[in-house]
Amino acid sequence: MNPILIALDVPSAAAALALTDTLRGSVGGYKIGSQLFTAEGPSIVRTLAERGDKIFLDLKFHDIPNTVAGAVESASHLGAWMMNVHASGGQAMMSAAAEAADRAATAGRPRPLMIAVTVLTSMSAEVLASVGVHRSPAEQVVYLALMAKAAGMDGVVASPLETAAIRDACGPDFLIVTPGIRGGSAEQTSGRQDQSRTMAPGDAMRAGASYLVVGRPITGASDPRRAAQDIAAEAVASVTNLN
Ligand code: C5P
């Protein structure tokens, strides 16, 4: 599958529908995060899923296991293809999420892919220490990725700079969803903006990413469809060249 997931960081359903109509067929799927979901609610997920789009629901659930399991079931019923929870909610919480995804599948729907958020890339070693975590961010990321795997999660979200270490620790089948894509074919249309730990599409794939989350290098381009095709081609070629 095309590994590019477009971040629909837009304020309205109208803007999201316009963007997906432009990009349909040239990307792998779309990420709906808290901005669009809070503005438009579940109907935007349902609408796009019914059009056949793969939707990564990026709401980062973090609550007691029973509540997270309920949220996962609700998101599955909307037709989300992938969704995420915070690994720092603990192994029991992630297991409850994975089991809820299994139940959704047995109810006649495809099982959604369950992804864990390890350490937010905005958290430095100092910020981690301030909340009582004294491992380095890199060590904490791998520690939580292994916990996510043990809990039955399908993969993690990780910055491009953490991808190789997670791939080594968690093996070839674990999914790694990587934002922070800049440079290479993603450089033509945008600078780094507020991203600091970045990698070009091909390099991120070579480091072991399964999917690349790309926002402004595509959504802010003068020709978003062309930008998506160029970035997808670079990503796919990098993996093909490895084989
Ligand atoms: O526009 P840009 O390509 O920077 O968008 C990246 C997307 O990935 C945004 O939706 C952002 O919130 C998300 N993201 C990120 N870094 C993380 C986790 C998610 O940039 N560590």
For residue range 201-243, list pLDDT tens digits in order: 999 999 999 999 999 999 999 999 999 999 999 999 998 865 5
In the reported structure, the alpha carbon of residue 144 is separated from the centroid of ligand 1 by a whole-number distance in angstroms of 20
Q: Helices H, strands E: what count in the chain? A: 11, 8
pLDDT tens, 139-178? 999 999 999 999 999 999 999 999 999 999 999 999 999 9
Average pLDDT, the chain: 94
Establish whether residue 213 lines the binding site of ligand 1, counting it when its CB lies within 6 angstroms of any ligand atom.
yes
For the cut 80, the answer to whether the pLDDT of residue 194 exceeds it is no
Longest CA–CA span in the chain (Å) reads: 46
- Locus of tokens 């093996």: 171
Q: Looking at the domain that runs over 4-240, which CATH code has it been given?
A: 3.20.20.70
Q: What are phi and psi of 38, to 5 degrees?
A: -70, -30
User: Hey, what are 122's tokens?
Assistant: 């905005």
In the reported structure, the alpha carbon of residue 204 is separated from the centroid of ligand 1 by a whole-number distance in angstroms of 14
What's the whole-model pTM score?
0.95
Q: What are phi and psi of 54, to 5 degrees?
A: -85, 125
pLDDT tier at 24, thresholds 50, 70, 90? very high
Residue 186 pLDDT: 84
In the reported structure, the alpha carbon of residue 26 is separated from the centroid of ligand 1 by a whole-number distance in angstroms of 20
Establish whether residue 89 lines the binding site of ligand 1, counting it when its CB lies within 6 angstroms of any ligand atom.
no
Handedness of CA 171, 175, 178, 184 (dihedral sign): positive
